[in-house]
Amino acid sequence: MTTTGTTGTAARPAPERPHGLRDFYENPAVPVASGDARSLRQARMLAAALGPATRGARVVLDVGCGDGSAARVAAPLLAGHRVIGVDWSQDALRRASGHLPYVVRGELTDGGLPFASGTVDAVLFSEVVEHLVDPDSALDELRRVLRPGGHLMLSTPNLAAWYNRGLLLAGVQPVFSEVSLRAIHGRPGREVVGHLRLYTARALREFVTASGFDVVRLAGAPFHGVPRPLRALDRLACAVPGAASILLLHARKA
């Protein structure tokens, strides 16, 4: 299986990382674009949760916004709501400013996000959690800024994606997993994007629940890097989230 891109926004939210890893994420050559199919499905979930802006404009943080491509896809569905891009990387924010009216440099640790507690209606957390050294503290910080009942829209690659199950049986490293920041070893693909953690559907549910959220829905999305002959099968797998390429989770602050 040959992959053609990265799964996520390659956000830079962890200042406690070793200097070399920070440099890796600040490198403009590291891919930051995310697949439009995943972005569109996630935006539809968020738009349904928020309702139209005629009922009142909501504040949405796109944490780990990367180059803003996900916000570009979501913009027509979130018209009237105030979407603010947040990222650790200045390079990413420069690119995101072309798609987002508001961008802010922020980190999930080392003082936290530059927003008061309980002031945000929703957080988009798109393919960020797999890059984090300390995902527990990250979700604590997202929960802090959310209002009671606020929405968390989290997406991440699925360790148990349908093709990864076959690869593991064959003794091949799963897609999305990485053992080095210098090169891909033992699995299909060419691009290193800095994935540190991977989740199954069950693990993601349990993790988010333990962090003080009520899971509303878990859905699946396709991966844009799946080879073209297999993309129809990848879309079909979305009907069973536990086997889909990408996990989309909607939760609310408990």
Band (186; pLDDT cuts 50, 70, 90): very high
Per-residue confidence (pLDDT) for residue 89, from 0 to 100: 87
**C-alpha atoms less than 13 angstroms from C-alpha of 72 in its C-beta half-sphere:** 14
Per-residue confidence (pLDDT) for residue 14, from 0 to 100: 43
SS3 218: strand
pLDDT tens digit sequence for 119-166? 999 999 999 999 999 999 999 999 999 999 999 999 999 999 999 999
Paired tokens of 147: 């209002």
Residues paired with residue 152 on neighbouring β-strands, in sequence order: 123, 251
SS3 62: strand
pLDDT tens digit sequence for 15-34? 344 455 666 666 666 665 55
pTM equals 0.88
Residue 2 has pLDDT above 50, yes or no: no
**Phi and psi, residue 147, nearest 5°:** -70, 160
Residue 7 has pLDDT above 50, yes or no: no
Residue 211 near residue 198, CB atoms below 8 Å: no
* 126 closest CA partner among 247, 18, 253, 4: 247
Angle (nearest 5°) at CA 249 between 72 and 254: 115
